[in-house]
Structure 1
Amino acid sequence: MRSSGNVRVLKSADRGHDSHAWLDSWFTFSFSSYYHPDYNGFGPLKVINEDKIKAGKGFPMHAHSELEIFSYIVSGELHHEDSMGNKEVCKKGDVQFTSAGTGIKHSERNGQKSKNTHLLQIWVEPNQSKLVPSYATMNFADSDKKNKLCTIISSIDNEEETRSIKIHQDLTMFASILELDNSVTYHVAPGRKCLIQIVQKADDPCVCISHGPGEEIDAKGGDVLFVTTTKSKPVDLKITGKGKKTEFVLVMEHVLMSISAFVNKGFMVKDVKHIVVMVAFLTVPLYVVEMGHVLMLITAPVDQDIMVKDVMLIIVMVACITLHLYAVVMEHVLMSISVFVNKGFMVNSAKFITVMAMRIIPPLYVVEMEHAWMSINVHAKLDFMDKSAGHTTVMV
């Protein structure tokens, strides 16, 4: 792995590799028996395998679930059959997409007699669990990709992209075929990241990728570039073809952190949720204070009692704020864990059950604290009143 600023380069030869009599595969991320601690996915993007399948061979019927799976056909044919009843022969330029959801089975094979099939197989974790399985294909001709970025995959929530396959994730995928000295540009906004995977071909074409003044990287077929930004600094990419025809895909993740699988509709919804939660937790202490004032009017006929009640309210207020901050920090920790180890419904369910428990337990804890302090207050008041009554009797 090589690094330059916000761009990391994984050289083609450094990828994982597995070769069989019928299949030659290169792995961008850990896959099957190949494992690399630095390459276990890139946000929701979990698999990019560059496969070359021998004629008449392929993957037998096998199962998938909780994944968005698509194949980008570079050359040759891919014969597809699945448990949903779909049968199709996908050819060069086709993108074949399966939302595995609750579970599907499919087989993929090269039905040609003498030629290899070359494809990129890509897996993405969806932002929702228990989806109904679905299937789609769409063709993108070389002319659609020639010296420009062609959108081939986009979020199901993105209504502006009408000619692309829709995915259940805040992610966009482009494809391009650059001729010699032609360029495309792409702006990676702050807080976002993207991946560029260059297709490996026989003539091993290359591109020059500029990502800032004096910052250039030469990349060849099979190389992978990881581009990340900070919350304040964007990256402007200029990709220039240095070979006869350089084909690549650019996968753009719109948000730096994967957000809750159940409420994810983008960053804005999560912001709204946190604003509502913050308002609620600011309102609850105010409600407690107001109730305390009412209780003081009822139960505090003497100054000493008011002082006890005031101390109780201060403690309740501090407890509310402290427990809320603790819940927020724990939720952030759980979200971070979910980003790296999210395997769908089970992890997200555990995360949300934990967060919900933490949201419920602090108010109950606060209520119990108030009851305890009220009990102390009542006993203190009664004791004071008894002593006052006894003193008055003596005086009489």
Structure 2
Amino acid sequence: MAPTFKVRKSEDRGYANLGWLRTHHTFSFGDYEDPAFDGFGTLRVLNEDVVEPGKGFGTHRHREYEIFSYVVSGALEHKDSKGNHEIIRRGDVQFTTAGSGLAHSEFNASTTEPVHFLQVWNLPSNTQLPPGYETGHYPDSSKKNRFATLVAPAKKRDRVDPGHPDVGKPVAIHSEFWMSAALLDPGVEVVYKTTHVGEGKKGQSHPRRLYVHVVQNNPKVKVTVTSNEAADEAPEITLSEGDGVFVEGFDGQGPGLVVRNDGQGVAEVVLMDLS
């Protein structure tokens, strides 16, 4: 069975401009509610945030969710109730397991430049996990014209072959969730094939869900997404900056997902692979 595709256009996302914060919401969040987009599998939040210099999110509490930030540009300062204090920059993924309860704050560490990042919330497989914190660093070289794995299940991350000298082991998450990122030059095509297909009832293969997001940092980008089936069977999806596409029924034994940069300049693409 071929995978299905559903496009999420950037302009259709939730949006708020609070002066100090400009944010787009792929899913319902805060005052933005859309019953058609309340989540996707265990993925509950995907916000694309730009925070003005010296501003940010004051101390607030979270429970249960695992929350992480993918920095696109600028410097993001993190503090939490467990004593963690760090400034993360481009290439960094800052990951927090809220678990049984954690308070944290996130501020733009610069007084002159905005910080642009993706904020992701995912539901872990178990509740009441001990609060935790981890940071991974993945330079641009590790993502150039390839998908680098940034986040992987805690019990499986040590099995991930980095495939590149600049890639460290993925950040550990407590669910069947994987996140990768790629920086594609114009004309470059990469194929993503998951090896994470789970087992459903009676040992049957349980297909995966994928979400492909084009980072909003290049207005001339044009990303084409399709599966590598026969051309007359597979639709071609065209994405601009800020757009995304939901892919369901993705079987690791079947066709791969083809992602190609048909635009000008580098396309920064984030891919989430979940059950």
Q: TM-score, normalised by structure 2?
A: 0.87
Amino acid at match of 1:184: V
Displacement after TM superposition at 1:233 (Å):
8.5
1:108 aligned residue: 106
2:31 aligned residue: 33
Displacement after TM superposition at 1:203 (Å):
2.9
- Deviation by residue 1:242-273 (Cα, 9 ceiling, x = unmatched): 231000110001x3xxxxxxxxxxxxxxxxxx
Kindly indicate whether the alpha-carbon contact (under 8 Å) linking 1:175 and 1:248 is maintained by their aligned counterparts in 2. Answer: yes
Q: Distance in 2 between matches of 1:230 and 1:72?
A: 25
What secondary structure is seen at the aligned counterpart in 1 of 2:134? strand
Choose between structure 1 and 2 for higher RCO, CA contacts under 8 A separated by at least 6 residues: 2
Displacement after TM superposition at 1:237 (Å):
1.1
1:132 aligned residue: 130
Displacement after TM superposition at 1:187 (Å):
2.6
Displacement after TM superposition at 1:236 (Å):
2.3
Displacement after TM superposition at 1:235 (Å):
4.3
- Deviation by residue 1:119-168 (Cα, 9 ceiling, x = unmatched): 00000000011100010111100000000000000001213027100000
Kindly indicate whether the alpha-carbon contact (under 8 Å) linking 2:210 and 2:250 is maintained by their aligned counterparts in 1. Answer: no
Q: How many residues are paired up?
A: 251
What secondary structure is seen at the aligned counterpart in 2 of 1:143? helix
Kindly indicate whether the alpha-carbon contact (under 8 Å) linking 1:194 and 1:227 is maintained by their aligned counterparts in 2. Answer: yes
Change (3 A) 1:230 1:202: closer
1:248 aligned residue: 269
Kindly indicate whether the alpha-carbon contact (under 8 Å) linking 1:101 and 1:132 is maintained by their aligned counterparts in 2. Answer: yes
Displacement after TM superposition at 1:210 (Å):
2.0
Q: Does 1:164 align with 2:170?
A: yes
Q: How does 1:1-396 map to 2 (within 5 A)?
A: 6-158=4-156, 159-161=158-160, 163-187=169-193, 191-211=207-227, 212=229, 213-214=231-232, 215-229=235-249, 234-242=254-262, 243-253=264-274, 255=275
Q: Distance in 2 between matches of 1:176 and 1:232?
A: 19
- Between structures 1 and 2, the one with greater helix share: 1
Q: Distance in 1 between matches of 2:15 and 2:221?
A: 20
Displacement after TM superposition at 1:231 (Å):
7.5
Change (3 A) 1:64 1:184: same
Change (3 A) 1:230 1:164: closer
Please, what is the CA RMSD of the aligned residues? Answer: 1.8
Q: TM-score, normalised by structure 1?
A: 0.61
Displacement after TM superposition at 1:204 (Å):
4.0
What secondary structure is seen at the aligned counterpart in 2 of 1:229? strand
Amino acid at match of 1:108: E
- Deviation by residue 1:97-122 (Cα, 9 ceiling, x = unmatched): 00011000000000212111000000
What secondary structure is seen at the aligned counterpart in 2 of 1:56? coil
Kindly indicate whether the alpha-carbon contact (under 8 Å) linking 1:229 and 1:235 is maintained by their aligned counterparts in 2. Answer: no
Change (3 A) 1:235 1:41: farther
Q: Distance in 1 between matches of 2:220 and 2:14?
A: 18
Q: Distance in 2 between matches of 1:232 and 1:130?
A: 32
Q: Distance in 2 between matches of 1:143 and 1:121?
A: 22
Larger Rg: 1
Q: Distance in 1 between matches of 2:186 and 2:238?
A: 14
Amino acid at match of 1:224: G
Displacement after TM superposition at 1:183 (Å):
1.3
- Percent same amino acid among aligned pairs? 37
Amino acid at match of 2:257: L
What secondary structure is seen at the aligned counterpart in 2 of 1:205? coil
Q: Distance in 2 between matches of 1:7 and 1:136?
A: 33
- Deviation by residue 1:39-68 (Cα, 9 ceiling, x = unmatched): 011000000000000011000000001011
Q: Distance in 1 between matches of 2:192 and 2:49?
A: 27
Amino acid at match of 1:223: D
Kindly indicate whether the alpha-carbon contact (under 8 Å) linking 2:218 and 2:266 is maintained by their aligned counterparts in 1. Answer: no
